[in-house]
Chain A
Amino acid sequence: MSKKKFVVAAFDDEDVLFPAVKKVRTSGYKIHDVYTPFAVHGLDHALGLRETSLHTAGFIYGITGTTTALSCISWILTADWPMNFGGKPHFALPAWIPITFELTVLFAAVGMVLTFCYLCQLAPFVKKHHFHARATDDLFVMVIECTAKTNVDDLMGFLSSTGALEVNVQVAEPEWWLGTYDKEQQLIKGSHVEVA
């Protein structure tokens, strides 16, 4: 875990953000991430992010649920403890479909939520640095990672010219760490962030 230097630019309009993202990428800067108050259609394409594999994971969880349900019920009701329900055969497939369906949905849903949290590094007591508080309210915040070669002043000027409302430099921890809300402010002010 090491702190890195970031240039942070805040925009107040999607229509300004999109060309800015394009310009920044064609100029060869590496965009760390863009934080938006709501899901912006097409931004993932503009950022060149790869297609998420969350749905593939969901399919696998679903199939696992289906097989779990079918194998459990069929083993219980035909081998382990066969019982006569209303004269139906022991292998009464139609009657098992609702439970199989429920378990498929349950596995897929819970599995996908947990996978999503894992991918986004979301969990209780997991803290990440917030680059701009208004990213959850009304600003689109673009964060660019600086390398040794990056000329920060040039970059800041460049970002202002693309229409950014405010531009600043932050040295921050990109990874997550354990913490609680009451300690968070202190962490950011203290050791984790220096606003230039």
Chain B
Amino acid sequence: MSDLPPTRAPVQPPVSPPPTFTHVPQGAQSWLLGRREDARLVTGAGRYVGDLKVAGCLDAAFVRSRVAHGRLLAVDTGAAAEIDGVVGVWSAADMGDELPVVPSFTPGSADEERQRPALAVDRVRYVGEPVAVIVGTDRYVAEDGADAVRVDIDPLPVLVDPGQAAASSTWLFDGVDNVADEMEFGEPVDDEVWQRAAVVVEGAYRQPRLAPTPMEPRAILAVPELDGRVTIWVSHQAPHRLQKDLATALQLDVERIRVRVPDSGGAFGSKSGTFPEYLSVVRLALRLGRPVRWIEDRAETLSGATHGRGQNQRVRIAADEDGRMLALALEVDADVGGYPIAGFVAAETGLAAAGPYLTPKVHARVRTVVTNTTPTAPYRGAGRPEQVYAVERTVDLLARRLGMDPAELRRRNFIPPEAFPYEAPTGRRYDSGQYALALDKALELVDYGYWREEQRRRRRSDTERALGIGLCSFAERSGLEQAPMAHEWASLDVTPDGRVVARIGTCSTGQSHETVFPELVAHTLGIPAQCVSLIEGDTDEVVQGIGTFGSRSMQAGGSALHQAALELIEEAKRRAVRMGCAEPDVGYADGTVSAGERSWTLGDLATASPEPLRVEGVYDNAAAFPFGTYVAVVEVDPELGNVRVLRLVAIDDCGVAVDPEIVEDQTIGAIVQGIGQALYEEMPYDNQGTPQADGLLGYLLPTIGELPPLTLDTTVTPNPNTALGAKGAGEAGCIGTPPAIVNAVIDALGQSVAGTDIGGVQLPLTPETCWRAAAGQEVGAR
């Protein structure tokens, strides 16, 4: 074993790579491109973390537990340390007092009783948990070192299901049981309501674990600088939160840490956390005084990072004979894996339980339960796809029970436009919506009447494949409701040549910010878009920020920039007044302040005074509620169980779309992830807690071959709380798609599988699941 070396000053003059946004290939100024980002991204000139070259950089590799639950008896690093090129090997014991602990996302919450060390201390709780870290001269050598470490674990009983774990006497954490948190939303529904209702339906659903799978796995490069600071290059969604967490975990002054996000290869919620591996890498870079990077590989990330979803759900709905919903109760056991790092995801499922419906009584009870599986954390939608799936399947069940058209049932229960702002029984306050408008548009575009007739025709025929039509109506929260997270910082600086530099606290991981934010600022100021540039993802340049998640970037960040631009116009006018013109005369248009015969460009005003022409602020942005209706038409091959999606119509309302093309890009991408969830994706575990997929041949992502004909359209209900009017976009596709497809498949398979839906058809709808359902066999029992 090797002890930690003493803290050293950097031994190499570190070479920080050039800022990403200035790295533009030769000749690119003359190219006409779809987005600004593309000049470097289509030519191979982009700079992702793994592309950054720093002199003397070392590579880290991790040894991970292959046992789901056990006592960690010994970690033998001797052979690894002998390997030529291995600089050091550390287990938790070797780190000693220097071992960092992952800071709690919600200080004071249940997760503080269940601390997550950077390396497992005396217990391993899931396959993939880091047990030791090797630093070597390159990644091959570091991985040789990882292979040479011997880990001795005494197995303990394994819990892979949250319901089972909640009831078990085997506890993952000594002294505290496996239920990390219990939350309630709304008032419990009286028994009398269920007893008196004309109809009560109940469904039980399983949300499989999904691997978020951005094409670039996690990546970090920590560079100790000569001035005593450390630069962290990282693929991340929330650099300021990471900066703060690193400071807390490593007991560093936050000013010493600069977090920079270069080009990022996708995130989908999965790169918003402070990962144990990141703490080890930064700790060792500082101890060694050398740059250390860690580039995760795909096999590692599938079990060693985080998963999304993972819930057992039970839903009851009571309705009168006309289909008016009287009560809705949702119970969730959320599988949070080995460490409860993100209970807020399941809380969202509970808070959102009412969906778009005017149900007078709504109650949700949510438990987060630790199990011997990979921790769960946000994945695109983060709590909303789970809620929408549970409710929309049960609404279809209600329609079948009542013999009602599922579209008409939904229409009868929608919160009407005049009821907004609407406070749901769970305490959630919805801002605005025109739910029936989106439903009607979806039905019209899919030609609902035609497909219902076609379905009847096929049912009369014995030879043709069964056809099904499935609906999903939803309202989702975008941005955040809680005070410190419901704002965003922005600044605008005018340079002497009249250009504008925008800074914003969001952080792109592929969402085209570099294109749309300058467009928005330029449009507001009435100047050409090429006069505006954007800086984000750098904690030195951007003094504070919340980041990019929950579809918040345009709603919160865009609105902040919009407000800042309006303030800049006012500031420019004040400058002109100070230069001697009379206030009532001052006007602003197209980058120029004018008063009578006199006029000043923004550049003139920036140079006229030594005081910089700039505005800066923190702008409040309440949560918003985008919504929509998706309709899927499917046919199912009863012999093979294959599902073919014939049509998918998506009507989304994200308020004012600032750049409709970019919104559409986001929608299609999310829809295809939703198709993956509905039909292909699952990270299954065996009962020993071993994940059953360690590569992309085992974990199936949709390819272009799985793409159905898509029809996208929108309705526009502006965000009533911002002048910009934008609500969030980016996650709706994977919220609306899975229930629409699953409802369509059940509609195709017919009454035989409808039943009560307890133990019924469960995600993903693999050919086996559908074949068993079509053949009337027990399904969902895997």
Q: Do A and B bind each other?
A: no
Chain A residues proximal to chain B, CB less than 8 Å: none
